[in-house]
Amino acid sequence: MNANGPTRRTVLAAAGLAVVGAAAACTTDNKPSKPSGPRQPTVAVTFSPALDAAPPNPTEQFSVSVSGGVLNPDVKLINPAGNSIPGVLSDDRKTFTVSTPLGYGAKYTWSGSAVGFDRVTRKIDGSFTTLTPKEKIGVVVNVADGQEVGIAAPLILKFDGTVEDKEAVEKALTVVTTPHTEGSWAWLGEDNGSRIHWRSRDYFKPGTKVHMSAKFYGLDFGGGTYGDSDVTSDFVIGRSQIVKADASSHQIVVVRDGATLMTLPCSYGQGDVDRNVTRSGIHVVSEKHADFYMSNPAAGYFNIHERWAVRISNNGEFIHANPETVGVQGSSNVTNGCINLSLSNAEQYFATAIYGDPVEVTGTRIDLSEADGDIYDWAVSWPTWKSWSAIKGEAPSKSVPATPKGAPVPQNANPSAPR
């Protein structure tokens, strides 16, 4: 036994102490503290447009998207009536996009939920109100869907208010012609609202198909006004029919597809005073009435019943029957500006006329002009017409009434116009 070293019992005792110390060190409490409340969602939600932004245009793209998770199928946008707005959830469930325009000045509410990759659900909520226009401007198109019109027909859009930003409005217009036909928009003078016409450079080819689209809903017309709705028009150009009306010949020649359809004796305006002059230039058939009442106080007649009246200008010029001038039809011009035919001849021509047919009057001392009404399109040279577009220049600021004072109106009213 080694008297200088520790005994075996002492060594073992020391080792035991070391083990106890190690055991004590391993029992130290390092457990994480328990959360004080429910876990917070980590999925992030983004609204477009932002809910705190200015009132959005109802045609903007409205959506809600998430990062760090996915949207649940219950996400939706609810209108003021409590109905869901149609929308599409993306395949990856990251974005829900509204698929239809909203309304003006209305409150919409987001609803639904999203779940994060941590499996914690977050509620989708929030609301916004779309912009409220100072005024909504509507428009009327002169040609109906499916209508067949003549080869000189202009396409007319009449607004029920003044359009200040004419360039923006014109850029929202599209005209597609098949076959392609050169044409241009032109802004004409105000007539209780703005008006814009699309005219082909030359007469249409028969059979041409025309599609017009106006994307006006949500469009800023300027001055706090916005478009009321989108509009379209789809129509077709019919056969070619041109009335050759030479005042010195005392007749009209109706030419159908290049061949003479009928030659009818008539009487033109007497021409003694300006109001009795049938205007020279390309007129356009705009409407027709089997029965029409006309008045002209300056000429001394009121509410005279006329038959088979085809309007060719808004200044009061018609091609119509007048039994009182039959004796001079074909030999003398005695009317107050209209083109008079016999009853049978007027009825025969009436049956062939459609909106947009050109009536080419020649041989008188006053030309058709903007003073003669709303459809004087063909009295304007092509370069001038194009210059009235707001896109390549400034639209005309002049104010010319579309219906001159004294022009006749439909039956059962109290018209006043040259006869």
Catalytic residue annotation: 320, 338
C-alpha distances (whole Å) from 336 to each of 91, 281, 292, 315, 362 are 73, 17, 16, 12, 17
CB 341, CB 163: distance < 8 Å: no
CA distance 185 to 384: 11
Q: Name the residue among 91, 211, 198 with its Cα closest to residue 147.
A: 211
CA distance 294 to 311: 12
Phi/psi at 14 (5° precision): -65, -40
Report the side by side order of strands in the sheet with 220-222: 135-137, 225-227, 220-222
Distance from C-alpha of 183 to C-alpha of 169, rounded to nearest angstrom: 17
10 Å CB burial of residue 18 (0-12, 13-18, 19+) is: exposed
Give dist(CA 379, CA 185) in Å, integer. 15
CB 304 within 8 A of CB 418: no
Which pair of tokens denotes residue 106? Answer: 């209305």
Contact 160, 194 (CB under 8 A): no
